[in-house]
Chain A
Amino acid sequence: MCLAIPARITAIDPTGETARIALGGVTRDCSLALIDDAAVGDYVLVHVGYALNRIGEEEAQETLALMREAGVPVDAAHEDAA
């Protein structure tokens, strides 16, 4: 029952090590240390502060819609969400 939440990368720091991600209406930082070649605009799955892998926007939106349907508060995420 372990959810990884899709989030969109909105900015990447100059070192390439961390990204700013948009999750619901909130932004926060996550580590890019476990994936290669992430770019602004990519959707990534985020788990305990790490981006795990890229997924397509359509898949991300589908997963987010499902999570909303399941009552998972993906639009109310606060800064500890990732």
Chain B
Amino acid sequence: MTNPAGKLLIQVHADGVGIASTRPVQAARLLVGRGTAQTLHLLPALFSICASAQATAGVTAIEQALALTTDPAVGARRRQLVAVETVREHLWRILLDWPRALSEPPDTAAMAAAMAADAAWRATLTAGGDLLTPAARATVGAAPTTVPARLQLAELGARWVFGLAPDTWLGQVDGLATLVTWAERTETVAARLVRRVLAADWAGLGRCAVDALPELPAPDLERHLAGADPAADAFVARPNWDGQARETSAFTRQLAWPLVLDLTERFGNGLLPRLAAQLTEVARGLAATAGESAPPASAPLPPGVGLAQVQAARGLLVHRVRLADEQIAEYRILAPTEWNFHPQGVVAAGLSGLVQHAAPAELEPLARLFITAVDPCVDFDLNFFTDRLDR
């Protein structure tokens, strides 16, 4: 079976979990020899699921390589575009995948409305100029009024996810006790799933010892990604840091948020803290008080090289480019799915523990829920080779 977008092949055995990938992780090679304008046109067309994050990473890396300064206002709007895309991608999980864990149909009507509201919000952000061209300062008009577009999606989030305004939810739900209170009073799929996870004692399922990816110093990352070295190709296919598999995801981004922090102290990096992190990230993206993340620090790199680190929906997205005579000489993309679905990564380790503790009848749906809570950006096949299913 061939899937052009690639697939994750996850095999659960009695003594461990195997993960293989057919994702085209070297696809960025096709950019070599092209000009920067064409490259920036192609990136969102090719990698259209996270097009804003891919385009932002691409233009930021190329600006660095050309020694161009990013206008702070343009940088902030690019980060807003990525944040809106992140909300949409999490809503996909919540509205289309979470219902399956409750034997409910996916809420496609809600997701279709959310996608329309997301598109309207992003259109507001990009109105008046092309944010995603190098040194876009001169082409971008005054900051747009994004409030009505944000409120439209926030209203949908209130109706279908939180049962109340997202910023109210953020203020009220700050730990396990308040999460339980909210879940008991709310009739959304998110609240029903939280109730189910707690009632069935699934909150800590999938807990494992894989650490969060630390901040990556640009010079160290450059050493891993530079040149035609096969080791660099291997790194983008199966990355590790200091010899250890690491995680980069909504969960690791929200670790310091009070709700996620409290749940993590009780359940480690198990299922419920992950679901709560996705809810938190949606609420923070939709809330009136949504703060802007700081622009990433730049570091000295060799001439003609650009290295962008963007927090995309599923974790850290890295683009590394080297230009020669204004053409792409090297291009590599390091995507979060390769960290999280590493053969020794958080999904492999988490599923190994989950298999030991889940009831046989619930093993497969729980494994699927855990995998989608870590959130791969492609489809996956899940197969069991263990007699636990038969007991």
Binary flags per residue of A35-74, CB closer than 8 Å to B gives 1, else 0: 1100000000101111010000001001100110111111
B1 with A78: CB separation less than 8 A: yes
Complex CA gap A36/B109 in Å reads 11
* Residues of chain B contacted by A81 (CB below 8 angstroms): 2-5
Query: Bound state CA distance, A76 and B4, in angstroms?
Result: 8
Most A CB within 10 A of own CB, among B5, B96, B108: B5
Contact between A34 and B115, CB atoms less than 8 A apart: yes
Interface string of A1-28 (1 = CB under 8 A from B): 1111100000000000000000110000
Q: Indicate with 1 or 0, residue by residue over B1-14, a CB within 8 angstroms of chain A CB atoms.
A: 11111110000000
| Least CB distance, A59 to chain B, in whole angstroms | 7
Please state if B49 and A31 are interface contacts (CB–CB under 8 Å).
no
- Residues of A contacting B23 in the complex (Cβ-Cβ under 8 angstroms): 1
Known: A34-B112, A76-B2. A66 touches B42 (CB 8 A): yes
Are A1 and B335 in contact, with the CB atoms below 8 A? yes
Docked pose: A31 CA to B276 CA in angstroms: 29
Q: Mind listing 21 A-B residue pairs with CB under 8 Å?
A: A1-B333, A3-B6, A3-B24, A4-B5, A5-B4, A33-B112, A34-B112, A34-B115, A35-B112, A47-B49, A48-B378, A52-B48, A59-B45, A63-B46, A66-B46, A72-B4, A73-B2, A78-B2, A78-B3, A79-B1, A80-B3
A3-B6, A73-B4, A79-B1 known, 12 other contacts, Cβ within 8 Å: A3-B5, A3-B46, A3-B49, A34-B108, A34-B111, A48-B379, A70-B30, A74-B4, A76-B4, A77-B3, A80-B1, A81-B5
Interface residues of B (CB under 8 A from A): 1-7, 23-27, 29-30, 42, 45-50, 96, 108-109, 111-112, 115, 333, 335, 337-338, 377-379
